[in-house]
Chain A
């Protein structure tokens, strides 16, 4: 790994200023589970790593708000997976967060890091898309909120402007009479990047909202009606072949996993009622 500078700002403003004065040569670091690995593989030639773990105005907890929850950017995936409110109201997100890497990785990796790395296979992206999460963004020029589906723009790319930092994520509680679930396939049972992942939120009426991972250049969202085969979800995805899976296998699996996710969501709806 090449030598680099390290900064540990105390405030969002300070972090944002560092980021914008070193545009393209600096990166934010929270858990470091993506960044450090990428630097070790020589994928970044960073001059500055900005450690935001000590930024006092960034939260690391799930807060209950009127009508939903606010997830602080620094919330670690292990905490997110175990959170009682998340487990009860957003089980697909709990399942997805709990499937990332290993206990050690989840104990460092953060929710904001997982989405800002913008991997098409990011495990938390499909449920965040399915639940219609809103991303709260801090910038020197002001704060703004972006819907999750507009956040991912390309592999490794987000809609964040220079100097902008994800501050938190807002999730509205799903309406009564809904159910949700997360499904994934990987090459092995433990510690692997998903080959295909699916999250879904199903309404009693039969409406479904799904999020897909690893079947396109970005995580993908789809809305429609529940069917037996769920084969319509194939219209939404643009998988490629790589060392993890073939294009046709991914295409078949996104349909199969959608069916399973819908089925499990239905079952959960019954448990709630």
Chain B
């Protein structure tokens, strides 16, 4: 083991963040920059009859007003999977907040004033805003069937559907069968930093984009497609972000801003407010129906499930979200007979996109609630019923998938023990456990360049972006130990497509494992080259030269990296460039394109204290156990789990985006959309780690980041259910919901 891996090295950029010194995208001032404001309608689905831009165009300080008619025809479309989203609304708006025009002006205030002067004549059209409406016979179609002429689903609002099955689910039986439908609400990411998009023409006839974007390479590809430039002429710089959570993953309005910048010949900035950021993307709401069969001992015999995810007006990344979520619908449990179907359903609402957990929370909350209901009916302990269904290490959980790679029963037991599971429970309290699991993105590639400078320091050029998760620190720790150099001698250049090689996405808890392995490979490449250089210098055969602990040992003498590089290239000159990549095996027969590199899993135990009169409840104890393999930086892992837990507490207790019957969101912004405050945190929190060095990443690491956000809400629900005896089938569970459920139960007994 090296010197830095496993240590809670102080994270780079932390001080700048907490003191406000960090330059976020909104702090950038590009010389000669213009400011843009979107024109949107006061309704969701509407036909655009006419747009009168005269008033705005005449306003002093307005540089231009652009509508779909001013764009190349047909209006360019983009999207990470299907290119279905137009740069500006064409003929009709499909959701509240969809831009119909953009006003560019000298200042932000003038742009706002100009946007208010654009007169749009529109005819409001009927829309579909719920699963029931979207799936009703004769429902208005959200997507133009001409966009998918080949698809058999083009005449419906179903974007895509999935079916997974194994065992013999048609001829199965069980002692106990439980069926419920669980409804999960829309939620927004609520990154503290709103979205900011800046584009500037120039730099060798290309375009430069600064954006709050997690995946700059996806954006580069989509912008290049829209503006018609080669990739080399589109440079995307992902600024350090104040939170992403998936909401900053896929292209938003950057293609529009890029077109406008090229049109005006000047840098253009579009700054979103927090409320406007809510209209950039959201989590899919869902209805998950689960029928679970158990034997008398509490063993899960079968799972039959059908789920609908309500996505928005455009596909975005939802094909992957729903397909992957349904794939792990049985969670961490071994089930003999399985039949799972899922559909992604279009609606006239804000596009659904990636959100920490990527579709898994919707299923796992349903599954875990079913486990609790079974435990109650079988009069079993809710920890015990789970332990009976957890697979042993190396078991194949899903046919064709990576076998179980951790000690899962150990993890769950650890979490339960941490809140005193077997100690007597005080009156008015309830306890629950739950497991969060997901598979990181399969078949994805991370490539990296590591430069070893002639003074023995190193620079990592990585496409992985920094949004507060601490990847830069972890990468520097890994490189420092691989090369045997001081941590402070490693610099990380990240998230710039003009400087760093390709990285698929910064998401899916994959960076430590995937980019981390690529960095290790690049460091090995450097060591190999050092051996060659030392051989050249000394005449010794490279095979007999050893590079370790930051030294090069050749025929009895020990040289520094500087000695070798300087010796070859001249004093104070040259460097050694290491190239590395991590590529996951692709398998076209695999439903996700290939097996998962590892299982990301977390075990949670929660205790709540109920106020049965008002229905309010507080978390008294919370313990999470992440099966992390090896924590490269334990403090950062704990912070990830705590942050995820707090986010998930919001899902359990208060978060939901409310869309009214006309398709208009009713709680845009911080005043009306509730997320937890520090006052809402549990009284006691333990973030524990299970470190068995059994992951595929550097030093045996697995990934972290999403799991904390998956299982805390189910554990809290489980505890509330235990305290009240009620199975809740809708999130969030507010005080009012508890009060209503208790009143309903009292009226029926």
Contacts and interface: CB of A to CB of B under 8 A. Distances in A.
Contact of A190 (B616, B679, B734, B740): B679
Interface string B613-644: 11010100000000000000000000000000
A193 B674 CA distance: 11
B680 A243 contact: no
B654 A187 contact: yes
B677 interface: yes
Interface stretch (B4-12, B241-249, B283-291, B664-672): B664-672
Contacts of B112: 2
Interface in A1-47: 1-3, 37, 41
A88 interface: no
Nearest to B736: A249
B677 A256 contact: no
Contacts of A243: 658, 666-667, 672
B739 interface: yes
A249 B739 contact: yes
A245 B736 CA distance: 7
A99 to B, nearest CB: 11
B618 A189 contact: yes
A253 B680 contact: no
Contact of A188 (B113, B672, B680, B740): B680
A235 B9 CA distance: 62
A245 B614 CA distance: 12
Contact of B680 (A190, A245, A246): A190
B653 interface: yes
A193 B736 CA distance: 15
Contacts of B653: 188
Given A2-B113, A243-B658, A190 B736 contact: no
A190 B654 contact: no
A232 to B, nearest CB: 18
Q: How large is the interface on A (under 10, 10 to 19, 20 to 34, 35 or more residues)?
A: 20 to 34
Given A185-B614, A185-B735, A188-B653, A249 B740 contact: yes
Contacts of A249: 736, 739-740
Interface in A158-190: 185, 187-190
Nearest to B613: A256
A171 to B, nearest CB: 29
A189 B614 contact: no
A200 B674 CA distance: 29
Nearest to B650: A188
Interface in B694-749: 734-736, 739-740
A61 B676 CA distance: 33
A256 B615 CA distance: 11
A10 B489 CA distance: 59
A53 B654 CA distance: 37
B548 interface: no
A57 interface: no
A189 B109 CA distance: 36
A65 interface: no
A225 interface: no
Nearest to B676: A188
Interface in B589-631: 613-614, 616, 618
Contacts of B678: 190
Contact of B677 (A1, A2, A37, A188): A188
Nearest to A256: B613
A211 to B, nearest CB: 19
Nearest to B669: A41
Nearest to A183: B614
Nearest to A185: B614
Interface centre among A187, A192, A193, A246 (most CB of B within 10 A): A187
Contacts of B734: 187
A42 to B, nearest CB: 9
Given A188-B676, A188-B679, A246 B736 contact: yes
A173 B78 CA distance: 69
Interface of A: 1-3, 37, 41, 185, 187-193, 243, 245-246, 249, 252-253, 256-257
Interface of B: 109, 112-113, 613-614, 616, 618, 653-654, 658, 666-667, 669, 671-672, 674, 676-680, 734-736, 739-740
27 contacts: A2-B109, A2-B113, A37-B671, A41-B669, A185-B614, A187-B734, A187-B735, A188-B653, A188-B654, A188-B677, A188-B679, A188-B680, A189-B680, A190-B679, A190-B680, A191-B677, A191-B679, A192-B674, A193-B671, A243-B658, A243-B666, A243-B672, A246-B736, A249-B740, A252-B739, A256-B613, A257-B614
Given A2-B109, A189-B618, A191-B679, 10 more contacts: A185-B616, A187-B654, A187-B735, A188-B653, A188-B677, A189-B677, A189-B679, A190-B677, A243-B672, A253-B614
